[in-house]
């Protein structure tokens, strides 16, 4: 990837999954990278694997003071933050809402929504002081109002980010701060595998088929996203990996291939 300038990118939840792959892609593009996770040793180890001078530090995105310390660490290390990516996310095995553990529901809402609120607030305040910057919030299942059994808490947390984005557009209007949305689409990360989101029977056979057909490897998705995020210049930028048109084409192609295979058998 070729960029016009070297920038500093903060990726929350950058120790694994999409966040780690994104951070690695930004570093490969010559950017200065700061990642965080709840465990200091894990964050530092992930940064060491990324290399290129990446910085890893502990921060719990559900705590405003932790997020403020993350900003201070990034600016203390590199002077300014050009892109801030609210990526940290939590999920749990699909369960009907009344059967889902209360602590799991609380964790999902706290990390996915409260983490994005705190991250956006801290980053925008800092970027207003420094005179520039781009804040990204990460979409996921439910952002487009799609509903699936067992996904009430997760879907709510991601649907709320659409409102957050529109609110931030209004509140940053006329300022040097830009806001955008990034949607990795369906990616088989550790979070998806560990929680069984892609394979749980509660969601039905169709959802399982969607993941088989539409999911992409994280190492393919992350560089694609990073290139477009770094190239974004206008507020309300939307970097969406799996657009409706792309999804329909893949699903239709898969259906035709499966019918053809069945006919031959």
For the chain, the structural domain boundaries read: 8-203+218-242
80: Cβ–Cβ under 8 A, 6 or more apart, which residues? 8, 130, 132, 133
Fold for the domain defined by 8-203+218-242: Rossmann fold (3.40.50)
* Predicted model pTM: 0.88
pLDDT at 45 over 60: yes
Summarised one tens digit per residue, pLDDT across range 8-42 is 999 999 999 999 999 999 999 999 999 999 999 99
Q: What is the structure's pLDDT at 166?
A: 98
**Structure tokens, 61:** 């995105």
Helices 17-28 and 40-50 cross at an angle (nearest 10°) of: 40
* Secondary element (H or E) of residue 84: strand 83-86
DSSP H helical ranges for 29-83: 40-50, 64-78
SS3 83: strand
Mean pLDDT of 239-261: 71
Q: Is 137 helix (H, G, I), strand (E, B) or coil?
A: strand
Residue 188: pLDDT band with limits 50, 70, 90: confident
pLDDT in tens, 76-89: 999 999 999 999 99
């Amino acid at each position: 990837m070729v960029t016009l300038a070297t920038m500093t990118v903060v990726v929350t939840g950058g120790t694994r999954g999409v966040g780690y792959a994104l951070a690695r892609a930004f570093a490969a593009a010559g950017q200065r990278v700061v990642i965080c996770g709840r465990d200091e040793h894990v964050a530092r180890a992930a940064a060491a694997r990324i290399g290129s001078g990446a910085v890893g530090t502990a921060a719990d995105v559900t705590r405003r003071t932790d997020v403020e310390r993350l900003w201070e660490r990034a600016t203390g290390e590199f002077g300014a933050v050009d892109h801030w990516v609210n990526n940290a996310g939590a999920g749990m095995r699909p369960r009907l809402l009344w059967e889902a553990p209360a602590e799991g529901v609380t964790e999902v809402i706290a990390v996915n929504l409260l983490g994005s609120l705190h991250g956006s607030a801290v980053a925008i305040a800092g970027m207003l002081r420094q005179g520039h910057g781009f804040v990204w919030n990460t979409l996921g299942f439910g952002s487009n109002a799609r509903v699936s059994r067992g996904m009430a808490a997760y879907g709510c947390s991601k649907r709320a980010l659409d409102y957050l984005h529109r609110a931030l557009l209004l509140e940053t209007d006329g300022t040097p701060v830009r806001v955008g949305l990034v949607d990795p689409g369906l990616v088989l990360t550790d979070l998806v595998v560990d929680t069984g989101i892609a394979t749980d029977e509660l969601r039905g056979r169709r959802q399982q088929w969607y993941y088989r057909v539409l999911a992409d490897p994280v190492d393919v998705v992350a560089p694609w996203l990073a290139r477009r995020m770094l190239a974004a210049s206008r507020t309300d930028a939307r970097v969406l990996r799996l657009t409706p048109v792309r999804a329909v084409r893949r699903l239709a192609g898969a259906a035709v291939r499966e019918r053809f295979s069945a006919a031959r058998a």
